[in-house]
Chain A
Amino acid sequence: DTGVSQDPRHKITKRGQNVTFRCDPISEHNRLYWYRQTLGQGPEFLTYFQNEAQLEKSRLLSDRFSAERPKGSFSTLEIQRTEQGDSAMYLCASSSGQGATTQYFGPGTRLLVL
């Protein structure tokens, strides 16, 4: 049984560069979520997909952030023109069904912007 996987696990980049993260959800989970977590805080919601449709985006998701889930399976999160304030752990989660179902999280991608 494979859980949610994320790649890469760590990323160091220079300010102004673009980065892309990948998330592979639990097989057949129709919902996929992206969260961001900084030190000492709980995860903060960024966006979520139901199948390939992006249904909700947080106000935290500036126009430098874009997420896709083209075939309703894996998802990518891209950050353009990175800023030091983007340094955080980016978490992906997936769930099945409708409504308030349990979300299962991946190991996260830790981003450091120098």
Chain B
Amino acid sequence: EDQVTQSPEALRLQEGESSSLNCSYTVSGLRGLFWYRQDPGKGPEFLFTLYSAGEEKEKERLKATLTKKESFLHITAPKPEDSATYLCAVHGRSQGNLIFGKGTKLSVKP
């Protein structure tokens, strides 16, 4: 069964303290891995799409990487406004939909 596991469930950082979020997946024929940011009470906001192992994408303080079994979202020198839940999702070969992990809730304190 296709599955996405995110760790840690929650992460508290001081402003400027870099870290990484993990997304492990098992899927039959990965066709895409997606990262979203979600603020409380709002819909997920698209961040990145990764299609093949070795691919990397960057946006401001965020960098997403992909291997054959997992993806990392690296956050460099985070700011309080980066506080949110970060969701990882996969699109498998046999599906029209995304399968999401439970997310990592990031809190960045000034």
Q: Measuring CB to CB, which residues of chain A are less than 8 angstroms from any residue of chain B?
A: 4, 31, 33, 35, 40-45, 48, 50, 55-56, 58, 91, 93, 99-100, 102-108, 110
Contacts and interface: CB of A to CB of B under 8 A. Distances in A.
Contact of B100 (A31, A44, A104, A107): A44
B44 A45 contact: no
A45 B98 contact: yes
Interface residues of B, number: 25
Interface string B39-61: 00111111001010000000000
Given A40-B102, A42-B103, A100-B91, A56 B44 contact: no
B72 interface: no
21 contacts: A33-B97, A33-B98, A42-B87, A42-B89, A42-B103, A43-B89, A43-B98, A45-B99, A48-B97, A55-B96, A56-B96, A99-B31, A100-B32, A100-B49, A100-B51, A100-B91, A103-B98, A106-B43, A107-B43, A108-B41, A108-B43
Interface of B: 4, 31-32, 34, 36, 41-46, 49, 51, 87, 89, 91, 95-103
Contacts of A105: 36, 43-46
Contacts of B96: 31, 33, 48, 50, 55-56
Contacts of A107: 42-43
